[in-house]
């Protein structure tokens, strides 16, 4: 039996895509290898969101090529493939600089993998590249998804029409498309039948979901959440990533009405300065963002928020940066992801004047992260002594331990029997650090 190894970079959408690729390969009779060295097929699923990804990919590929040559000396063939957003942006470079790569497929064409692997088996040599933006949906051609354990991702929307001036996604994942309601519900039911208790709905701009129902009528994310809420056996629902301007009143009401919807929302603001938000082509001001947060909190006072931030966007002054810090103090995010602005070729911001010096970006990131980490630590500390419902997702670092997530996405570990893997269990929180909690299972 042939073995495959997939290394995934980047966002949760890539994790989902890699899982779907694994299902394709397993349907073809392959099984997962424990290391690259053991693999007959090595796949990198790549991310292009910030700089250095491409260089990192080429150094990783160089290393795999050495392994390929060692294996060849032992009479073993190794097929090397690249998937994901770097392929979409750098296909020519891949063909030129890494001609030993057998195939390179963009995020929308990997459903063609079986056919491509057959082609390679017949005649290896040239790199097969496919970076189409096909008119058809890959979801109509992929084999049925399989549960990834207690918690599974489910892509409901892909691509983006927002064109934030810093972002490559509209160019790598294409225009926004939504999967039909029935297709999503069917996939969710299959996942739940396979043991999934938590589904995380994915989309680059998930809350602008507008999939068609059976009658061809476009439906919203709120509609979909209410439908998913009806699936017996599904215990937890999340969705990510949301765009502030597309948070509708209907969606806000879901956070009041749907118990299965976890009390954690990732809602990127990027900057607290209205001038910078405008230059980023965001369709919201910081005031509007704060209003949405207030409305969400009135719907569900237990909601915790996380966000993405970019510091050092072209033209960002000290005063602009201060505004970002003010927003953090107002919302008190329970988790956050913050980045130095990174020039992406082909995006409007890359050629804007007044690019910010690296030194200043670094300083601002440090100041912002100190503040964000402080709120995150305080939130985690406020969990101590509480009992939380934890979904155990994996083995802990020490024997006899499992790790999981609280409703607020906090990482947690506890001594637990491995039978509790993929189950939701009450855990009393004992200790907290910035990155994780520990606790003890509450015996009923």
349 interacts with ligand SF4 by CB under 6 A: no
Rounded distance, CA 128 to CA 204, Å? 27
DSSP characters for 52-74? THHHHHHHHHHHHHHHHHHHHHT
Q: Using CA of residue 385, residue 388, residue 392, residue 393, what is the dihedral sign? A: negative
- Binding flags for ligand 5AD, 264-283, as an x/- string (CB under 6 A): ----x-x-------------
- What's the token pair of residue 69? 């040559």
Rounded distance, CA 305 to CA 294, Å? 11
Q: Which is nearer to ligand SF4, 172 or 271 (CB)?
A: 172
380 interacts with ligand SF4 by CB under 6 A: no
11 interacts with ligand SF4 by CB under 6 A: yes
Pick from 18, 127, 145, 172 the residue near ligand SF4 by CB under 6 A: 172
- Residues 187-206 close enough to bind ligand SF4 by CB under 6 A: 204
Give the one entry of ligand 5AD, ligand SF4, none that residue 308 binds, where binding means its C-beta sits below a cut-off of 5 to 8 angstroms depending on kind. Answer: ligand 5AD
- Residues 52-111 close enough to bind ligand SF4 by CB under 6 A: 84-85
Q: Which is nearer to ligand 5AD, 162 or 219 (CB)?
A: 162
Q: Using CA of residue 314, residue 315, residue 318, residue 320, what is the dihedral sign? A: negative
Pick from 104, 169, 328, 414 the residue near ligand SF4 by CB under 6 A: 169
- Residues 231-270 close enough to bind ligand 5AD by CB under 6 A: 268, 270
48 interacts with ligand SF4 by CB under 6 A: yes
Pick from 5, 166, 209, 243 the residue near ligand 5AD by CB under 6 A: 166
Q: First vs last Cα of the chain: how many Å apart?
A: 45
CB 171 within 8 A of CB 89: yes
Q: What are phi and psi of 331, to 5 degrees?
A: -85, -30
Give the one entry of ligand 5AD, ligand SF4, none that residue 85 binds, where binding means its C-beta sits below a cut-off of 5 to 8 angstroms depending on kind. Answer: ligand SF4
Count CB atoms within 10 A of the CB of residue 217: 10
167 interacts with ligand 5AD by CB under 6 A: yes
In whole angstroms, how close is the CB of 413 to ligand 5AD at the nearest point? 27
Rounded distance, CA 220 to CA 181, Å? 9
266 interacts with ligand SF4 by CB under 6 A: no
Burial of 71 (0-12, 13-18, 19+ CB in 10 A): middle
- What's the token pair of residue 8? 């995934």
- Residues 221-240 close enough to bind ligand SF4 by CB under 6 A: none
Phi-psi sector, 270: left (phi>0), alpha (psi -120 to 50), beta = left
CB 61 within 8 A of CB 103: no
In whole angstroms, how close is the CB of 366 to ligand SF4 at the nearest point? 23
Where do contacts with ligand SF4 occur on this chain (CB under 6 A)? 10-11, 13-14, 47-49, 84-85, 168-169, 172-173, 204
Where do contacts with ligand 5AD occur on this chain (CB under 6 A)? 49-50, 166-167, 268, 270, 308, 310, 339, 341-342, 344
């Amino acid at each position: 039996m042939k073995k495959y190894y997939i290394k995934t970079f980047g966002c949760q959408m890539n994790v989902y895509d890699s899982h779907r690729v694994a299902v394709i390969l397993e349907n073809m009779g392959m099984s997962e290898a424990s290391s690259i060295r053991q693999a007959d097929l090595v796949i990198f699923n790549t991310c292009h969101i910030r700089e250095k990804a491409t260089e990192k990919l080429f150094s990783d590929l160089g290393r795999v090529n050495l392994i390929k040559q060692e294996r060849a000396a032992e009479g073993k063939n190794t097929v090397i493939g690249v998937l994901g957003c770097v392929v979409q942006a750098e296909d020519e470079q891949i063909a030129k600089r890494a001609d030993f790569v057998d195939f390179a497929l963009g995020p929308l064409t990997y459903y063609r993998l079986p056919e491509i692997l057959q082609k390679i088996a017949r005649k290896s040599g040239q790199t097969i590249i496919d970076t189409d933006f096909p008119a058809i949906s890959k979801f109509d051609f992929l084999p049925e998804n399989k549960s990834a354990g207690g918690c599974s991702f489910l892509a409901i929307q892909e691509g983006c029409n927002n064109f934030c001036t810093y972002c490559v996604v509209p160019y790598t994942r294409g225009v926004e498309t939504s999967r039909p309601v029935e297709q999503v519900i069917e996939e969710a039911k299959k996942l739940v039948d396979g043991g999934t208790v938590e589904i995380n709905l994915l989309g680059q701009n998930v809350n602008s979901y507008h999939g068609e129902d059976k009658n061809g009528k476009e439906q919203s994310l709120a509609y979909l959440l209410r439908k998913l809420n009806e699936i017996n056996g599904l215990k937890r629902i999340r969705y990510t990533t949301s765009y502030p301007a597309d948070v509708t009143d209907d969606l806000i009401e879901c956070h009041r009405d749907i118990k299965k919807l976890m009390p954690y929302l990732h809602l990127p603001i990027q900057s607290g300065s209205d001038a910078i938000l405008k230059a980023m082509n965001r369709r919201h001001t910081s005031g509007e963002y704060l209003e949405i947060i207030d409305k969400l909190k009135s719907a569900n006072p237990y909601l915790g928020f996380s966000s993405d931030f970019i510091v050092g966007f072209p033209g960002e002054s000290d005063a602009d940066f201060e505004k970002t810090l003010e927003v953090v103090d107002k919302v008190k995010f329970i988790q956050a992801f913050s980045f130095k602005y990174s020039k992406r070729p082909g995006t409007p911001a890359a050629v804007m004047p007044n690019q910010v010096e690296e030194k200043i970006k670094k300083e601002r990131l440090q100041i912002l992260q100190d503040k964000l980490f402080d709120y995150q630590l305080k939130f985690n500390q406020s969990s101590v002594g509480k009992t939380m419902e934890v979904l155990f997702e994996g083995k802990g670092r020490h024997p006899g331990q499992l790790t999981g997530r609280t409703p607020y996405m906090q990482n947690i570990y506890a001594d637990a029997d491995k039978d509790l893997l993929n189950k939701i269990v009450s855990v009393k929180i004992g200790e907290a650090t910035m990155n994780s909690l520990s606790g003890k299972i509450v015996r009923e």
